[in-house]
Amino acid sequence: SDAELKQLKDLQRANSLIQNHNVLVEHMYTADPSAHVFNGTMYIYPSHDIESKNEINDNGDHFAMRDYHVLSLEESTGKVIDHGVALCVDDVKWASKQMWAPDAAHKLGQYYLYFPARDQQGIFRIGVAKSDSPTGPFKAEDDYIQGTFSIDPAVFEDEDSSHYLYFGGLWGGQLQNWQTSNFNEQNIYPKPGEPAIPARVAKLSDNMISLSEDVKEVVVLDESGAAITVCDNHRRFFEGPWVHKHNGVYYFSYSTGDTHKIVYATGDNPYGPFTYQGVILNPVLGWTTHHSIVKHNGSWFLFYHDSTLSGGQTHLRSIKMAKLEHDESGKIKTISPYEQ
């Protein structure tokens, strides 16, 4: 089958790449790195990948993660420190399993960890946990953030100190089950030619643990101003939203899922619409690709993951980083992860 052929090709590529994997940590598997600079230090909030006996399927059952570790990095070339377990699913009342891609934010001496997990009914929701340290341990709120659903939270802090929570992911991430305001057991996709299913965004309240407004759709347009359509798999949103701001422009970037790219679109405000611009990261080894973009000491960095260290096992990933460049017109230079 196509899937078996891809796995075989991935394994062959892994064998040739394993010698020079340059992963950031080797003592555990890590993925979905959300990086932030807090008080001058770079902190990384990744998923903590683990072995699983679950079937490998489009529902993502093989991603059975249970906890989070926070990592820090003093210099972009420095050693990565693992600060240990920051939050475990057993300590989150509303969650049952699958602690997927998290993110974090800082406000007035408090740190907030945002994370998706399945609730007791198996529906993905987004929760929040607090700490007075960027490395945790974090204490989870008793319930998930009302109004949230699906996966992959990403928090963007604008220059006026407003915080925006982006989220969403297709297939196992259940975004296709939220075409109305209630969870629908059935997967509902738009018809060919119709606009793609969008990521979602809402401003966070001052308390950082609730939404201050209704959830809105994040629309991505093509060069003619039309919404990217559902069958445009090389450009439509799949999962892993992230926003950064450069020279006053808002950059909305995300994974295209089954075409395995990180792409970006630009806009003039945090809600969009955003206009598609191009590819940030070409496909990595493994099915998923997930990133974050952060500025540290005047330079921009891309954090991402691949499955090199595990020999191509798609649910056992490792985080990496690369320098990211905006050219004079604001375009991001495409990164090809295995080319020097």
Asked about 152 being catalytic, the answer comes back as no
User: CB-wise, 275 or 307, nearer to ligand FUB?
Assistant: 307
Options 17, 25, 31, 220; binder of ligand FUB; rule CB under 6 A: 31
Three-state SS sequence of 119-171: ECCCCEEEEEEEECCCCCCCEECCCCCCCCCCCCCEEEECCCCCEEEEECECH
The reply on whether position 240 binds ligand FUB by CB under 6 A is yes
Options 62, 111, 114, 152; binder of ligand FUB; rule CB under 6 A: 152
How far from each other are the two terminal CA atoms of the chain, in whole angstroms?
32
User: CB-wise, 153 or 275, nearer to ligand FUB?
Assistant: 153
Strand-pair partners of 293: 302
The one catalytic residue in 10, 152, 239, 306 is 239
Options 29, 45, 68, 100; binder of ligand FUB; rule CB under 6 A: 100
**In whole angstroms, what is the distance from residue 111 CA to residue 130 CA?**
6
User: CB-wise, 288 or 318, nearer to ligand FUB?
Assistant: 288
- Binding to ligand FUB, residues 36-75 (CB under 6 A): 47, 63
What residues contact 154, with CB distance under 8 A and at least 6 apart? 34, 103, 165, 166, 167, 240, 241, 242, 243, 292
Residue that the structure tokens 């939203």 belong to: 241
User: Taking the complex as a whole, how short is the minimal distance between the CB of residue 53 and ligand FUB, in angstroms?
Assistant: 17
Asked about 239 being catalytic, the answer comes back as yes
How many chain residues touch ligand FUB (CB under 6 A)? 13
- Tell me the torsion sign for CA atoms 317, 321, 322, 328: positive
User: Taking the complex as a whole, how short is the minimal distance between the CB of residue 226 and ligand FUB, in angstroms?
Assistant: 27
What residues contact 252, with CB distance under 8 A and at least 6 apart? 166, 199, 218, 220, 241, 242, 243, 264, 265, 266, 267, 272, 274
Instruction: Look up residue 96 and give its two tokens.
Output: 């049952």
**In whole angstroms, what is the distance from residue 221 CA to residue 157 CA?**
23
Helix (H) or strand (E) holding 17: helix 2-17
Inter-residue contact 167 to 112 (CB < 8 Å): no
Instruction: Specify the amino acid at residue 293.
Output: I
User: CB-wise, 206 or 258, nearer to ligand FUB?
Assistant: 258
The one catalytic residue in 10, 32, 49, 306 is 32
The reply on whether position 151 binds ligand FUB by CB under 6 A is yes
The reply on whether position 288 binds ligand FUB by CB under 6 A is yes
User: Taking the complex as a whole, how short is the minimal distance between the CB of residue 101 and ligand FUB, in angstroms?
Assistant: 4
The reply on whether position 169 binds ligand FUB by CB under 6 A is yes
User: CB-wise, 95 or 275, nearer to ligand FUB?
Assistant: 95
Options 10, 103, 239, 306; binder of ligand FUB; rule CB under 6 A: 239
Q: Which of 4, 2, 1, 17 is nearest to 285 (CA)?
A: 17
Secondary structure of residue 249 in the 3-state scheme = strand
User: CB-wise, 92 or 275, nearer to ligand FUB?
Assistant: 92
Inter-residue contact 240 to 170 (CB < 8 Å): no
The reply on whether position 101 binds ligand FUB by CB under 6 A is yes
User: CB-wise, 100 or 275, nearer to ligand FUB?
Assistant: 100
What are the catalytic residues? 32, 239
Point out which residues bind ligand FUB (CB under 6 A): 31-32, 47, 63, 100-101, 151-152, 169, 239-240, 288, 290
